Chain A
Amino acid sequence: MKTKIYLQPTPVRIWHWINATGFIALILSGIQIRFPEYVHLFGSYKSAITLHNAAGLVVAISFSLWFFYYKIIAGTILKIYMPNSEDLRHGLLRQGIFYFFKYFKGEPNPHHTTPENKFNPLQKSAYLAVMFILVPMVSLTGILIMNVTPLRELVLLAGGLKILANLHFLFASSLCAFLFTHVYLATLGHTPLEHFKPMWTGWEEIDESETHGQAADLGKAETGR
């Protein structure tokens, strides 16, 4: 029997796809800005800069809204994104062993997704680094680079434009590297597209036999088809 759970609320889904579009625009325009002799995707250099600045602002604002939603409205930011002591003691290793050994032998995933426990310990650690370090830092360095003259004091405090530009590039490269893994891991469901669906519709179908009865405990779980 299949159980459907409401995994991704509407604001989170809107935020995710705005972010996804913004990131793609930032990566492509960023490549043209850094390597203008080889990449001309958006025509002129100025178009690439304009798109990069606009997409950067959208992602930075979107990040603020995400933080506001999870921290203030849902109040679940730490629960969802912060690995707990059990995660640190056993969860990380268990999940790592699953991904790199047990998965290939066909054994089930030790983590069962619920709206309150969306991420496995490895995901939590990765998202913690991405959402609490990389995205704020890439946004902050980007905002300073965009406003060198009005924010000159801060630019100098951060070590100057050269250091900021290099940090921005390294944070962006790290986010890009995360994106490769993020998209790949999303294909590891029962079907390659299974994990993409909840981010579009909000609902995830899970096999009740695999949840060992956990779904029955979910407040928002809905038994069906």
Chain B
Amino acid sequence: MKAASYIVAVIIPLGTALALSAFTRIASAAEVPGFAFGSPDKNRVCLTCHSSVGAVGKNNYIDPMKFSRSTHARIGCSTCHDAIGSTHPDGRRSGISTGCLDCHQAIGAEYVNSDHVRNASCGSCHNPHTVLTLSEISSEEVRRQCSGCHKPEMMWSQHARWLPQAELHLETIPCITCHTESRELVVTISIVGKKMAESGTGLQPVSHAALKRLVQGGDIRRIIDRDGDQSVSIAELKDFHKNPLYDEYCLAGVMTPSKISHTFKIINNRWDCTYCHAKGPGAVKSSSIILPMEDGSVTSIPVEKGAILEALNNIPDLYLMGSSRNEFMNKIGLAILGGGMVMPVGHGVLRFLTRRNRNGKEH
């Protein structure tokens, strides 16, 4: 009963903020006269006005670049804004009769049982005009959704009660990496500018145009997938790191749940540091490299299993204790320890063999 009242009182009205309609409505929306809805450039007509603050005002402005990257751009404006008539703009508010839950029923059913439902609606965290998939956004963008309510300073102090290097963890890992019921994590890797990584000013993916220049107008996928087999191997990652042409670039990864979950509960194994801080195949089982395409979308190439650390180890200032230890350094360390054993072992053996010279009396 309580859950049902939440659905009526909270989810449905608030869901309208993140307006998505059922695909069944697409057809009817396409029939609205006066606008070219449903065509490949179905958003173009709307954005003619709505991409200009001067034309529609700040509240009705849609950033065309952000919207074109958004997954919602693929279903088109009229899918959610289906109540717009042929007389638009006629000065009347364009009522939205659809809600987020018309499409995202499963998420709604999960969300209604979470603690968040009392405090936040879909639109509190997600802007329907800029929404992206997990593989397309940076840690910072994911974290920004949470920090509206969960103030960073308070989160640092709360986590610091039990988490070593709390501030560093919260800076580099999106909240949902731990606060999820997804058992597995995925790492999404992008090509970023090395200088930005070193100076700590954030890792921003390199633009399509910049990548295009690297391959002199060729296929940008060949930068990393050299043999074009639609899969990135450890050898190809090593080639990328060694290639002097790409000296200014490195790879940066975002670790996110493999399955989106809106309960934000923590699975017990996340309390074990070795979930991340250990080498070898652990929870992070798959990764992919994403490259920005000309139309604002991204293309994804799967990375060979086990190559994640190879990719991440080459980020200038990334070091995961226990996971990203350097094998070459291990060998040097072992040689140093071996050197330290020369005296006890070598001298000790000779000492034992010549013990009679000291008449049983050591010096």
Contact = CB atoms under 8 A, between A and B. Distances in A.
B321 A184 contact: no
Interface stretch (B41-49, B112-120, B123-131, B345-353): B345-353
In the complex, the 3 A-B pairs of residues with the closest C-beta atoms, listed nearest first: A177-B340, A184-B344, A45-B273
Contacts of B318: 161-162
Given A104-B351, A184-B348, A45 B357 contact: no
Nearest to B324: A162
A224 interface: no
B340 A162 contact: no
A134 to B, nearest CB: 11
Interface string A91-106: 0000000011001111
Given A149-B167, A162-B319, A192-B362, A173 B357 contact: no
B164 A37 contact: no
Contacts of A149: 165, 167-168, 171
B279 A37 contact: yes
A131 B168 CA distance: 31
B362 to A, nearest CB: 6
Interface string A175-216: 011111101110111111010000000000000000000000
Interface in A95-133: 99-100, 103-109
B9 interface: no
Contact of A104 (B199, B278, B326, B350): B350
A170 B329 contact: yes
Contacts of B259: none
Count class of interface residues, chain A:
35 or more
23 contacts: A34-B322, A36-B274, A37-B278, A37-B279, A44-B272, A45-B272, A46-B164, A46-B273, A99-B347, A106-B354, A109-B363, A148-B168, A149-B165, A155-B317, A165-B321, A166-B326, A173-B334, A177-B340, A180-B340, A184-B348, A188-B362, A190-B361, A192-B362
B150 interface: no
B319 A165 contact: yes
Nearest to B169: A149
B322 A156 contact: no
Given A36-B278, A160-B317, A161-B317, A176 B337 contact: yes
Interface string B246-266: 000000000000000000000
B343 A185 contact: yes
Interface string B278-290: 1110000000000
Contact of A106 (B277, B322, B357): B357
B5 to A, nearest CB: 42
A84 interface: no
B296 interface: no
A71 interface: no
B200, B343, B361, most chain A CB atoms within 10 A: B343
B279 A106 contact: no
Contacts of A148: 165, 168
Contacts of B347: 99-100, 184
Contact of B363 (A35, A44, A103, A176): A103
Interface residues of B, number: 47
Contacts of A188: 351, 362-363
A161 B344 CA distance: 34
Nearest to A174: B336
A99 B346 CA distance: 12
B333 interface: yes
B337 A173 contact: yes
A44 B322 contact: no
B298 interface: no
Given A165-B321, A176-B340, 9 more contacts: A35-B325, A99-B347, A100-B347, A162-B324, A166-B326, A169-B333, A170-B329, A173-B337, A191-B362
Contacts of B357: 104-106
Contacts of A108: 363
A150 B200 CA distance: 13
B337 to A, nearest CB: 5
A106 B363 CA distance: 8
A181 B336 contact: no
Contact of A170 (B162, B272, B336, B344): B336
Interface string B177-200: 000000000000000000000111
A90 B69 CA distance: 76
Contacts of A161: 317-319
B167, B199, B318, B362, most chain A CB atoms within 10 A: B362
Contact of B336 (A106, A177, A187): A177
B1 interface: no
A199 B359 CA distance: 26
Contact of A173 (B167, B322, B336): B336
